[in-house]
């Protein structure tokens, strides 16, 4: 017998109603689903921390509430949480509660680690008033106040780049704060051309004040050649653009430039590497013919510090034209396309000697020499780091291959040679044990570099 439609219709309605009820119940119970969880961060003091969390829901709208150490944060009600100028107190666990009409879902916790080793500087002019695409930074104490200043260049890597800023000279006030120099303060240097790669400092006339070389415009993208720039330091904080001679009048496009004493006569020569036709790949060498001004070149050899003395500060005090003044050089491998040698060169003007030569090694040791004659290349080796872990057991911290003579004394007046030791291990260091330790008599030891 054929079933009656009157029996099927109620059954269909029941099933449809049940399906609708189940769907409605499922929607009511569904809570926001996080598609991106906040991640752990490790930042320095002063930095900006940003946490992000993304969620979806079928029952919007959604709201967000960020929490720190389980405490709700005021006005932290967006998918992204930004904390500026973070401090140690901001460290800890962060999470966000995402809510909709159906309920609340908590994100996974994210840890903010605040490292006290560094402070990120965000307001100083050196990080706010300069726009660089590609360029160089040359650090030097151009005004002889004992603090490192910096000159910055900027260049385009292709024709399409625009908006790059001019070169900039920032003066260090000695407390780590920088001021961008203007033409009123330093002269035309502050308005020197843009789009240049390489720069370096050097006292080419040995008057005791650092001068500045800026490479020719290396516009590989446009194929344009220009001239090198050389600025003479006037000794009063200002610079004069040098306009005479081949170094500043021959067209070119250099990708490297060095003020370096090629022939070891105490006067810095100028060497540039050309990158555009017709001199592509050629080196231009301008030898400095010198003057009557004196000079001193110091080659530092580290023992506990890096052998090359990288990072070591070398200072000299001399009386130049009746004025006692300090100069500072830092042993620096150089910047972009501008590697330097490891010799500290000082111009001394009419001084016949250096009153004080002070070397501040990166190991923390400070070494001073007095009344050092001018016009010489002087090699200074870092004093040996001599220690005695046990009575009579001597250890010298040094580099592999270094040789020392160990001497002893009972009165610090007369010294007796006891042994000669050479460091042979890769990690450095040499040792010797005195088998004749006196009873109650004091014995002093020293290590003399061979």
What contacts 174, CB < 8 A, 6 or more positions away? 145, 146, 147
Q: Which comes out higher in pLDDT, residue 219 or 430?
A: 430
Q: Find the mean pLDDT for residues 139-152.
A: 95
Which tens digit of pLDDT belongs to each residue from 176-210? Answer: 899 999 999 999 998 887 667 788 999 999 999 99
31 pLDDT more than 80: yes
pTM of structure = 0.80
Q: Which comes out higher in pLDDT, residue 97 or 257?
A: 97
Q: Find the mean pLDDT for residues 10-23.
A: 37
Is residue 421 within 8 A of residue 429, CB to CB? The reply is no
Q: Find the mean pLDDT for residues 126-138.
A: 74
Q: Cis link prior to 278 (omega < 30° from 0)? A: yes
44 pLDDT more than 90: yes
The reported pLDDT for the residue numbered 80 is 97
Lowest-confidence pick of 95-99, 115-119, 245-249: 245-249
416 pLDDT more than 60: yes
Give the phi and the psi of residue 424 in degrees, each rounded to 5. -115, -10
323 pLDDT more than 90: yes
Taking the C-alpha atoms of residue 195 and residue 277, their distance in angstroms, rounded to an integer, is 18
Taking the C-alpha atoms of residue 131 and residue 168, their distance in angstroms, rounded to an integer, is 10
Taking the C-alpha atoms of residue 200 and residue 212, their distance in angstroms, rounded to an integer, is 6
Residue 405: which H helix or E strand, with range? strand 403-409
The reported pLDDT for the residue numbered 394 is 86
Residue 21: which H helix or E strand, with range? helix 5-29
The reported pLDDT for the residue numbered 286 is 94
Residue 64 in 3-state DSSP?
Answer: strand
Residue 111 in 3-state DSSP?
Answer: strand
Q: Find the mean pLDDT for residues 220-230.
A: 68
In percent, the amount of the chain with pLDDT more than 70 equals: 84
22 pLDDT more than 50: no
Taking the C-alpha atoms of residue 5 and residue 372, their distance in angstroms, rounded to an integer, is 118
The reported pLDDT for the residue numbered 414 is 94
The reported pLDDT for the residue numbered 25 is 37
305 pLDDT more than 50: yes
Owner of token pair 């046990």: 390
Q: Find the mean pLDDT for residues 226-242.
A: 94
Taking the C-alpha atoms of residue 40 and residue 221, their distance in angstroms, rounded to an integer, is 42
Q: How many CA atoms lie within 13 A of 340 on its CB side?
A: 26
The reported pLDDT for the residue numbered 15 is 41
Q: Is the dihedral of CA 367, 370, 375, 376 positive or negative?
A: negative
Q: Find the mean pLDDT for residues 25-43.
A: 79
Taking the C-alpha atoms of residue 385 and residue 364, their distance in angstroms, rounded to an integer, is 11
The reported pLDDT for the residue numbered 216 is 76
Taking the C-alpha atoms of residue 275 and residue 253, their distance in angstroms, rounded to an integer, is 6
Residue 436 in 3-state DSSP?
Answer: coil
Average pLDDT, the chain: 86
Is residue 373 within 8 A of residue 420, CB to CB? The reply is no
Question: How far apart are the two ends of the chain, measured CA to CA in Å?
Answer: 120
And the tokens for 10? 């109620």
Q: Which residues of 380-417 are buried (b: 16+ CB within 10 A; e: fewer)?
A: bebbbbeeeeeeeebbbbbbeebebebbbeeeeeebee
And the tokens for 298? 């110091």
How do strand 41-45 and strand 110-119 relate by DSSP bridges?
parallel
In percent, the amount of the chain with pLDDT more than 90 equals: 57
Which tens digit of pLDDT belongs to each residue from 92-115? Answer: 999 999 999 999 999 999 999 999
The reported pLDDT for the residue numbered 441 is 76
DSSP class of residue 224 equals B
Is residue 105 within 8 A of residue 98, CB to CB? The reply is yes
Burial class, 338, CB count within 10 angstroms (exposed 0-12 / middle 13-18 / buried 19+): buried
Is residue 419 within 8 A of residue 403, CB to CB? The reply is no
DSSP β-bridge partners for residue 392: none
Closest CA to 315 of 144, 131, 153, 178: 144
Q: Which comes out higher in pLDDT, residue 30 or 151?
A: 151
The reported pLDDT for the residue numbered 255 is 76
Closest CA to 243 of 234, 231, 233: 231
- Which band of pLDDT confidence, cut at 50, 70 and 90, is reported for residue 218? low
Q: Cis link prior to 221 (omega < 30° from 0)? A: no
Lowest-confidence pick of 240-249, 338-347, 351-360: 338-347
What contacts 429, CB < 8 A, 6 or more positions away? 395, 396, 397, 398, 423
Owner of token pair 């500045």: 212
The reported pLDDT for the residue numbered 112 is 98
321 pLDDT more than 90: yes
């Amino acid at each position: 017998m054929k079933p009656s439609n009157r029996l099927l219709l109620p059954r269909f309605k029941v099933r449809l109603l049940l399906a609708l009820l189940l769907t409605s119940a499922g929607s009511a119970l569904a809570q926001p689903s996080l598609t991106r969880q906040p991640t752990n961060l490790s930042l320095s003091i002063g930095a900006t921390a940003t946490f992000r969390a993304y969620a979806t829901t079928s029952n919007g709208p959604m709201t967000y509430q960020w929490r720190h150490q389980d405490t709700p944060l005021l006005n932290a009600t967006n998918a992204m949480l930004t904390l500026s100028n973070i401090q140690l107190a901001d460290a800890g666990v962060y999470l966000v509660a995402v809510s909709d009409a159906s309920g609340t879902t908590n994100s996974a916790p994210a840890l903010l680690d605040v490292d006290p080793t560094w402070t990120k500087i965000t307001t100083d002019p050196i990080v706010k008033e300069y726009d660089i695409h590609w360029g160089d930074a040359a650090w030097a104490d151009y005004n002889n106040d004992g603090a490192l200043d910096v000159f910055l260049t900027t260049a385009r890597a292709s024709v399409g780049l625009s908006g790059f800023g001019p070169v900039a000279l920032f003066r260090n006030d000695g407390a780590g704060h920088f001021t961008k120099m203007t033409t009123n303060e330093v002269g035309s240097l502050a308005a020197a051309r843009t789009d240049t790669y390489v720069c370096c400092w050097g006292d080419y006339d040995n008057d005791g004040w650092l001068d500045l070389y800026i490479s020719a415009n290396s516009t590989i993208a446009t194929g344009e050649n220009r001239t090198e720039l050389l600025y003479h330091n006037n000794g009063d904080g200002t610079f004069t653009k040098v306009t005479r001679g081949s170094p500043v009048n021959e067209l070119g496009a250099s990708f490297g430039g060095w003020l370096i004493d090629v022939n070891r006569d105490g006067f810095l020569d100028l060497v540039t590497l050309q990158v555009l036709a017709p001199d592509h790949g050629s080196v231009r060498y301008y030898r400095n013919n010198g003057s009557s001004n004196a000079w001193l070149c110091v080659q530092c050899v580290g023992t506990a510090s890096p052998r090359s003395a990288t990072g070591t500060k070398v200072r000299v005090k001399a009386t130049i034209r009746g004025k006692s003044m300090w100069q500072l050089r830092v042993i620096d491998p150089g910047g972009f396309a501008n590697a330097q040698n490891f010799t500290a060169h000082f111009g001394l003007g009419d001084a016949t000697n250096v009153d004080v030569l002070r070397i501040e090694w990166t190991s923390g040791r400070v070494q001073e020499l007095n009344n050092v004659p001018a016009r010489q290349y002087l090699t200074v080796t870092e004093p040996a780091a001599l220690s005695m872990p046990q009575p009579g057991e001597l250890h010298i911290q040094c580099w592999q291959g270094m040789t020392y003579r160990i001497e002893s004394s009972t009165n610090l007046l007369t010294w007796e040679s006891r042994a000669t030791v050479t460091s042979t291990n890769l990690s450095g260091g040499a040792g010797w044990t005195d088998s004749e330790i006196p009873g109650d008599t004091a014995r002093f030891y020293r290590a003399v570099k061979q």
